[in-house]
Chains A and B, each alone.
Chain A
Amino acid sequence: MSNIKTMTFDAIVIGGGGAGMRAALQLTETGVKAACITKVFPTRSHTVSAQGGITCAIASADPNDDWRWHMYDTVKGSDYIADQDAVEYMCSVGPQAVFELEHMGLPFSRTEQGRIYQRPFGGQSKGPNDSTQAARTCAAADRTGHALLHTLYQANLKRGTTFLSEWYAVDLVKNAKNEVVGVVAIEIETGEVAYIKAKATVLATGGAGRIYASTTNALINTGDGIGMALRAGFPMQDMEMWQFHPTGIYGAGTLVTEGCRGEGGYLINSEGERFMERYAPNSKDLAGRDVVARSMVIEILEGRGCGPEKDHVLLKLDHLGEETLNLRLPGICELSKTFAHVDPVKEPVPVVPTCHYMMGGIPTNVGGQALTQDDDGKDQPIRGLFACGEAACVSVHGANRLGGNSLLDLVVFGRAAGLHIEEQLRNGFEVDGASDADIKRAMARLDRLANAREGEHVAAVREDLQTCMQLYFGVFRDGESMDKGLQLLNEIGERVRNTRLTDTSNVFNTARIEALELDNLFEVAYATAVSAVERKESRGAHARNDFTERDDENWLKHSLYFPLDKRVGKRDVNFSPKTVDTFQPTIRSY
């Protein structure tokens, strides 16, 4: 054995956000020897920034609410490439998962009856035959993510979960049989490197919004799990699907929740017109996020943007009154004052579509088991590897996620991964050991950085990468410009592989972490670009000027990006829910 320190667990969860902590909690509760590895202290994870709520048919606002209606909305919102068995699972198990959170102590807002308060969110209806706006998003004021993340951390403390806090996972360790058997990680405080050995490795590393120049995402959202899986040779699904949130604060990129529009706020252009009435006569400002974001960009492109540059629109909230704003949207009032220098009680908030969420990710089944495809196009499990949360693509969001479904995804599938792993281990799941060479391979990036004497600084390359993605892979795309973007990415890739680290110290070396993160940002960006070029249609968040229509004949499919030969294949979408009839694809209108 090499002289590297080894720690051994039955299961490890990489990522201490909502999905990771829910998985870790499930594992610890069922007696599995597990550890949660997280590059920031758990409550600093990006789940903390989620505002509006967690969508779930708990039948509080409407006693007759039905999870099947939520399922219908989700499938429709996905533009029909969400897997219906997974959506069925999420929407039907959802209430139990939400009640569990409440029992753990999550301080939900309440109705007069003492039940959980639910607000209207985009894309919500009362089923296929009734387009009435539903109110299905369970909220803790506009700090639901914060409340959820802290509650999960507290529940893990109660159960005594092992945390490796401020440890950064570098790369997956694979044995000779291509099984995943843990990860090489670095303790940020000391710089010590260790092999963390496990029979089950869960990637719950969240999103990667930092591939774009303008994003609502935290600085830590660098797609570390996606990067690790791609470097290990595993495929990624639907990576072209990126959600642009309609209401990022102009200039700063920070999010203001869709709940603002749920509570009655609306968007206006430079003429003071509530323009969503034209684009979505029924749902108006609560149409799907892709629809609203595109409408905003069209308004701006056609010269009806606001401000001296005419490059944003306004979110009007003042008509809701000070009392409602303070009760239901206190965090938004705070953020608007800090980042837009605007008090929503008096003035509208300047907003612009901003990169928000990665619908794609590591393909998994409902139990979080990561999947690849064999030569015949059949799903094959990747032994030892699991994923959940934003890093995974189950897929419940397809081509466009509905607001409030990400938090539900986290807890339902974090929990499911924990259940599934516990069961596998109980049934005697074993993997082979890793050789020294296997471990050494996962340290290659550390070795390169330690020895690079020449090369560029990380920050400059990162900025060019983000600008490239923003310019060529934004809300509207077309073949010609994406080809240009991909070419540019190839050049940036060369620079990424040749960055240099001028700080080689061990103690809390954040420069080293940023250099490692850049590799992951690049992997994610490249997978996005290649997949986006390949999907020759417009669906959900992927809107092309050269292929403006949805093409169900060829593309009612998942895209699957294979990193070794940089090829994009296809994977069937699941249309076989277990207990309800299939929702057949139809024209999507709001």
Chain B
Amino acid sequence: MLVSLYRYNPEADNAPFMQDVEVELPKGKDLMVLDVLNLLKEKDVTLSYRRSCREGVCGSDGMNMNGKNGLACITPVSQVIKKDKLVLRPLPGLPVIRDLVVDMSLFYKQYEKVMPYLVNDQPAPAIERLQTPEDREKLDGLYECILCACCSSACPSFWWNPDKFIGPAGLLQAYRFLADSRDTAQAERLAELDDPFSVFRCRGIMNCVSVCPKGLNPTRAIGHIRNLLLQRAT
């Protein structure tokens, strides 16, 4: 298999370039893309990428594999390989620090903007706050986000306005707290989001849904936020 790697070391290279490396895949075993990267790194230690849990829950190794964002550790080579070739690039739309490592500050900043924590102005009870299973179910499909940035960095609206449009990941978390029966800051949360950019730059392109490695649906969450904002305005 031919692996074409995006390489860039700001200390050594004037510009990024693609490096082609031939990789011998072990027979009868379907490696994950991360395994391939680890093999490559054993041969060339200068290759840089993030990785941690290697099981799709920490969100470190989001990258672009043959044109589609995903997590390298849970993407089998067989699923993305095209014509015996695998092109690996950093997540698009974010500044590259080195090789496959991107600067995620803007992404995190958008997450921080949505007040991603529970707010409850009532004194806490001696035990837990009660929540019905039905209310708890409303958080399914929202709280599982791993902040890998596959969605936001696949979103043309986020590419265009990464400083003003919250992006799918941040908005998914915005809705996770709007939907929580224990949260009392709904009005304040909506007021923060009520401008032409934060939410309404979403054009329903749904790249986020197509790439989310956890099978989550930010577009649906954004739809719910839009509805809440419209109800608030009327």
Contacts and interface: CB of A to CB of B under 8 A. Distances in A.
Contacts of B234: none
Contact of B128 (A102, A155, A331, A514): A102
A40 B59 CA distance: 11
B132 interface: yes
Nearest to B45: A511
Contacts of A155: 117
Contacts of A277: none
Interface stretch (B49-57, B151-159, B202-210, B221-229): B49-57
B58 A508 contact: no
B60 interface: yes
Instruction: Choose among A105, A255, A506 the residue with the greatest number of B CB atoms under 10 Å from its CB.
Output: A105
B93 interface: no
B51 A105 contact: no
B130 interface: yes
Interface residues of B, number: 54
A40 B129 contact: no
A46 B45 contact: no
Contacts of B53: 44, 46, 48-49, 218-219
A114 B131 contact: yes
A338 B56 contact: yes
A99 interface: yes
Given A43-B146, A218-B52, A507-B9, A105 B131 contact: no
Contacts of A43: 58-59, 146-147
B127 interface: yes
A93 B57 CA distance: 29
A150 interface: yes
Nearest to A165: B108
Contacts of B9: 505, 507
Interface in A337-385: 338-339
B43 to A, nearest CB: 9
B104 interface: yes
Contact of A511 (B46, B55, B60, B108): B46
B231 interface: no
Interface string A398-414: 00000000000000000
B233 interface: no
B97 interface: yes
Contacts of B55: 49, 252, 254-255, 335, 338-339
Contacts of A111: 133
Nearest to B49: A510
A175 to B, nearest CB: 34
A503 B99 CA distance: 14
A551 B129 CA distance: 47
Nearest to A189: B97
Given A107-B139, A114-B131, A219-B51, A507 B112 contact: no
A116 interface: yes
A273 to B, nearest CB: 30
A176 interface: no
B11 A507 contact: yes
Interface in A442-491: 457-459
Given A103-B128, A105-B182, A506 B74 contact: no
B194 interface: no
Contacts of B144: 143, 146
A146 B53 CA distance: 12
A501 B46 CA distance: 10
Contact of B101 (A115, A140, A508): A508
B128 A116 contact: yes
A320 B97 CA distance: 47
Nearest to A146: B57
B14 interface: no
A487 to B, nearest CB: 27
A40 B50 contact: yes
A106 B133 CA distance: 14
B112 A157 contact: yes
Given A147-B143, A218-B53, A114 B101 contact: no
Contacts of A502: 45-46
Interface in B78-117: 97-99, 101, 104, 108, 112, 115-117
B59 A44 contact: yes
Contacts of A99: 124, 126-128
A501 to B, nearest CB: 8
B100 to A, nearest CB: 10
Contacts of A113: 130
B45 A103 contact: no
Contacts of A44: 50, 52-53, 58-60
A219 B54 contact: yes
A110 B138 CA distance: 12
Interface string B182-198: 11000000000000000
Contact of B117 (A40, A143, A158): A158
A525 interface: no
B125 to A, nearest CB: 8
Contact of A49 (B10, B57, B117, B130): B57
Contacts of A503: 45-46
Contacts of A181: none
Contacts of A98: 128
A339 B53 CA distance: 13
A115 B128 CA distance: 7
B121 interface: no
Interface string A25-47: 00000000000000011011110
Given A115-B128, A218-B52, A103 B120 contact: yes
B104 to A, nearest CB: 7
Contact of B131 (A40, A110, A147): A110
B48 A510 contact: yes
Contacts of B143: 107, 140, 147, 150
Contacts of B136: 107-110
Contacts of B58: 40, 43-46, 48-49, 218
A507 B10 contact: yes
A112 B51 CA distance: 39
Nearest to A112: B133
Given A49-B55, A107-B180, 13 more contacts: A41-B60, A46-B53, A48-B53, A103-B128, A140-B143, A143-B144, A154-B117, A155-B117, A218-B52, A254-B55, A335-B55, A339-B55, A502-B45
The 7 closest A-B pairs by CB, nearest first: A105-B118, A114-B130, A511-B45, A154-B117, A102-B128, A44-B58, A158-B117
13 contacts: A43-B58, A49-B53, A105-B118, A107-B139, A107-B180, A115-B128, A154-B116, A154-B117, A218-B52, A218-B53, A338-B74, A509-B48, A510-B41
